Structure 1
């Protein structure tokens, strides 16, 4: 669960003193977004997670250097970015765009990285909102958009009527649309489903 900014500021003294609970709060706050961010550069979630965990180790080794949540966030993103770019320089890249990143000038590279940071935080925000849905709505939402199941297949698996499944899906989307635009949701579903498909080879549903 993501913490409110004021709560993060309140635990800075504990973080500086090396309190594991304070560290855990910052881990939960940024970990998922950082993994999304690194994966967009590397196209390898396992490697992305390793890099992000290493960034947190470096953060912990310098825990008494930080006096504000924003400085912690900046350190984590900068450290993760640098590690990803270093990885791309020394590893065999999978896609042409990854090689192109390395040849961008400083401003273009910074702009590209910033776009990925914004996208990653959007991903984390929407995931957090999905977690606020009722359990059944979450289940229907994930089965339809991530697992790629049809509505009648979901109804059969959950032993629900087709009408009830449609209602859960519609209400889940309505709740998400209270906070996010259709464009943001479509982008989220595209990225999230692509990540899921890498390991599950599922079809992609469009949002409707």
Structure 2
């Protein structure tokens, strides 16, 4: 397992490994920031769908975090994460879960503002930032995104209501997610930890 230290890869100490299993969010953040991009690139190489690839990688991290105490890893944590992403990608392809992945609320772009999370400054700041980013999306992009994420309409239903193609709907949602990923990049770890109740 590795952690980021002064711009180089350094092995995690036994103390850090123990702290990670015990629920140390700072060590989890180090591992997340180190491997997230490479895992997303790997998932994208298998799925060829950027939004789904990033959602899938986030789910892998969440699953690991929730089960960290009882998870037995043979080899490195990096290897475990890549195997988990690989298996999830194959499962997604096998069962044709592309549409489900778009309609399912991703942990990064959760727009259901009735989440029962602790009312604190961090959560309120994050909610306000998401609202702000959505409000500043291009008009058509914002309309499609709201219909998909908030109204929970399927791509075909959105296309019919707006008299556009399903491909256009997918492109607009992809555009919205790309803008949000860029705008909320600094909040990514916080989003996951908040939704996990950390």
Structures share a fold, TM > 0.5?
no
Q: Which is higher, the Rg of structure 1 or of structure 2? A: 1
Higher helix share: 1
Q: TM-score, normalised by structure 1?
A: 0.40
Q: TM-score, normalised by structure 2?
A: 0.42
Higher relative contact order (CA 8 A, sep 6+): 2
Higher strand share: 2
